[in-house]
Chain A
């Protein structure tokens, strides 16, 4: 009788060792994490890094070019641009992360329900997603932002309404194919109630994919926050925000181009970091 198999005795690298090795073999994930870590560190340490307060005005020194005193110069109210840039990272990243929580959970759950049960649950959820998809994203965002009032609250409400759709669609498709797997049938043979099958068995199998979508969607959301700020229906001044900074710099774009370019670069930087992480995670889980 074949008892313990020989390969069982090979020493297994510790979990940490293996994950480190994996991350090293995935440059996109590695770089994405490094870029994002730098960004988060700068945002968190903003008061330490910058000697200036972001809304401290100095009318005697407006629209200064970059210098050793003001690394990125000053804006039209004499505020230090670098201070505003890193404090804006705090605002925008915080809102981005918070605004994703509810849509992510709701979308993943509804997607699993639709895919697992099929039939009317699926029909209902698919109808809802298709209806929302038919509208241009920014149209909904702008309408809801106007109705619910500008500012942070408006962004949260808007995203709760439309943000779950992207997760629901991805997770629904995945769940519908996983539902036919025998391990689901095995769980049903045990007698597990459907909700337990969804949460214990389906969830860990759809989560990796959902997290990959989360990364790309955060980049999309960040751009949406910045766009609303730029249009003047997002975060209200004087709270620093990359979108408002871009629009405030616009009148001076031909002479003081860095006023708009610096926050623009920050958005691109954050977007690249998130996309790299998303791609890296997708590779990581595809290899497994």
Chain B
């Protein structure tokens, strides 16, 4: 087994009596995409937030390479793990311009000098295929798909090594889902990212993952390479999920 880029080790999170994550362990292989599926309420988003450092785990630990991530992360540790949220309507501050949204990320992590921020912002927008006239506009002036691209630009602005995508396409129109997925795939290989991709949509998982993990009621019940999972899942729950999806591999791989 290769060294994991990120290791989730026996993580438990509970909200009062409700156990959201029950001794979850997962390894993210470097430069690969782990697709995490499960029905709503299975703990997928909680796991994303634990990895991003938004929720401290009650038990267990998260390791970034060999480093254990503590309750208070350092600036460098924050920089290395970035998160793309589900709802692009809510993930961009409505009162900040795009220039400010991207610039803040760049300046806070000292990615570039102040004088080069504008140029880097333009590069980032080009990378996610948004016109550079967007810089001085506000999030509400864009469509959902465009906003999600901007959110992706903010996430990659700080040059993370791990990118978590928490249902990044589920709030989007079907017509733009494919292009956002394609963009994420492209960025992943160009920037050599390790990706944790969360979705309840097996078609999306099929299009983007190398490995598939299945969560149910706060537990990881199956981890399989993509080809194996989609051909003959190890668990009956995996089989159930697959057979419940009539439209499965509609989106072409890569």
Contact = CB atoms under 8 A, between A and B. Distances in A.
Interface stretch (B1-9, B88-96, B187-195, B224-232): B88-96
B129 A2 contact: yes
B78 interface: yes
Interface stretch (B33-41, B104-112, B215-223): B104-112
A283 B54 CA distance: 35
A189 B131 contact: no
A216 interface: no
Contacts of A2: 129, 145, 176, 179
B75 interface: yes
Interface residues of A, number: 22
A136 interface: no
A281 to B, nearest CB: 15
Interface in A265-288: 288
Nearest to B154: A186
B128 to A, nearest CB: 11
Nearest to B93: A183
A262 to B, nearest CB: 44
A185 B85 CA distance: 9
Interface string B62-106: 000000000001010111011101110011111110000000110
B95 A205 contact: yes
B238 interface: no
Interface stretch (A3-11, A106-114, A218-226): A3-11
B251 interface: no
B151 A186 contact: yes
A38 to B, nearest CB: 32
Q: What DSSP secondary structure best describes chain A's contact surface? A: helix
Contact of A1 (B73, B96, B151, B179): B179
B131 A186 contact: no
Contacts of B176: 2
A140 B92 CA distance: 43
A232 to B, nearest CB: 46
Nearest to A197: B93
Nearest to B149: A2
A53 interface: no
A5 B131 contact: yes
B54 A188 contact: yes
B137 to A, nearest CB: 8
A238 interface: no
Contacts of A200: 104
A134 interface: no
B158 interface: yes
Rank and list the top 5 A-B pairs by shortest CB-CB distance, nearest first: A191-B78, A4-B131, A204-B95, A182-B91, A182-B90
26 contacts: A1-B179, A2-B129, A3-B131, A4-B131, A5-B131, A8-B131, A181-B90, A182-B85, A182-B86, A183-B90, A183-B91, A183-B92, A185-B54, A185-B83, A186-B85, A188-B53, A188-B54, A189-B53, A189-B78, A189-B81, A190-B109, A191-B75, A191-B109, A201-B93, A201-B96, A205-B93
